[in-house]
Amino acid sequence: MKYIEPYMLEKMNEYLKPIDTNWQPADFLPDSSKDSFFDELKEFQENAKGLSYDLVAVLIGDTITEEALPTYESWLTMVEGVSKDEDGGWMKWLRHWTAEENRHGDLLNKYLYLSGRVDMRQMEISTQYLIADGFDIGTDRDPYRNFIYTSFQELATNISHRRVASLAKKDGDTLLSKMCGVIASDEARHAKAYKDFISQIIKVDPNEVLFAFEDMMRKKIVMPAHFMREAGTAIGHTFAHFSDAAQRLGVYTAIDYVDILKQLINDWNIESLRELNETGEKARDYLMRLPERLLRIAERIKDPRLDYKFSWIHAM
């Protein structure tokens, strides 16, 4: 980690955007200080009416996931082996990354509030629960597992926001489509960064990276919002329904999981890693065989039927 920190500092301006010129939620939302606000809001809500039930559910789940950012930030500060020096690569990266990510929840939350489709109180209860419940993603405080996890997650959020963008467009809400599009491109940039950090670490410590990657995949990558619930339900109850809706819509599916794994294997040139120790060799071989195995399972998964009413969504 001491090796990678100066590199993170050096690359920060490449992977994160300057704040003064970066997009902000206000760029996309009706301006409530203007006289035209109410007309704009009317049109805004008209467009939101066309969104399918599942799409609204997925959008709310995505928003709650983004809003649990305090969990992700505090988890990343607890990683072992990093300097807690505020001017060091780790803390600087972490604060600037968090600051960019914070816009995602802000924008989506305001969209949903204005859309007129959502029972905001119920959604807010879920958000408070998710932050209070935290998460258990099996990475412990190990830095390699954390970088692998974030690489995977940023790719997953890129896919899901991108798909929501195109479904929103199909349902006639081009503004929402634009919003999810800009969020998706942030996620893509972040994914590039975390993948690059792992690539750098592979150069000096391939065996341990492979071992960490194998271990993560054996345990399966758990989504950060896996504890999601609604008022009066058990921890994790709502997450299952949220991911069913995402699978049904094709926003994020078991096939996507395999595609992300393939992409990571490819980007990190896992296949061509040589001169490894026995653990490293075994991990490499396990990883190379994994996508095909998972694909066979993924192809057998049937789309879950629509049978759940979220407390978050007003009946229309």
- List, by residue number, the catalytic residues: 23, 66, 101, 104, 154, 157, 186-187, 190
* Shortest Cβ 49–Fe ion spacing (Å): 26
Residue closer to Fe ion, measured from CB, 126 or 151: 151
Beta bridge partners of 291: none
* Shortest Cβ 181–Fe ion spacing (Å): 13
* Shortest Cβ 211–Fe ion spacing (Å): 25
Q: What is the DSSP string of 41-84?
A: HHHHHHHHTTS-HHHHHHHHHHHHHHHTHHHHHHHHHT-TT---
SS3 (DSSP) at 136: coil
Residue closer to Fe ion, measured from CB, 163 or 284: 163
Stretch that binds Fe ion, among 26-34, 151-159, 270-278, 292-300 (CB under 5 A): 151-159
User: What region, left, alpha or beta, does residue 269 occupy, with left being phi > 0 and alpha being psi -120 to 50 degrees?
Assistant: left
Among 307, 121, 306, which residue's Cα sits nearest to residue 230? 121
Residue closer to Fe ion, measured from CB, 115 or 157: 157
Residue closer to Fe ion, measured from CB, 139 or 157: 157
Q: What is the DSSP string of 222-265?
A: --TTTT---TTS-TTHHHHHHHHHHHHHTSS-HHHHHHHHHHHH
Binding to Fe ion in span 63-82, by CB under 5 A: 66
Stretch that binds Fe ion, among 150-158, 200-208, 277-285, 286-294 (CB under 5 A): 150-158
Q: What is the DSSP string of 283-313?
A: HHHHHHHHHHHHHHHHHHPPPPP-----TTB
Which pair of structure tokens corresponds to residue 115?
Answer: 């859309």
User: 118: which DSSP letter?
Assistant: B
Stretch that binds Fe ion, among 73-81, 95-103, 236-244, 267-275 (CB under 5 A): 95-103
* Shortest Cβ 190–Fe ion spacing (Å): 5
- Near Fe ion by CB under 5 A: residue from 16, 59, 104, 291: 104
* Shortest Cβ 144–Fe ion spacing (Å): 19
Residue closer to Fe ion, measured from CB, 105 or 280: 105
Q: How far is CA 74 from the centre of its chain?
A: 16
Binding to Fe ion in span 47-66, by CB under 5 A: 66
Which pair of structure tokens corresponds to residue 201?
Answer: 């670490």
- Near Fe ion by CB under 5 A: residue from 54, 187, 196, 214: 187
Binding to Fe ion in span 6-25, by CB under 5 A: none
Stretch that binds Fe ion, among 29-37, 98-106, 109-117, 275-283 (CB under 5 A): 98-106
At 86, which amino acid appears? E
- Near Fe ion by CB under 5 A: residue from 5, 54, 62, 101: 101
Point out which residues bind Fe ion (CB under 5 A). Answer: 66, 101, 104, 154, 157, 187, 190
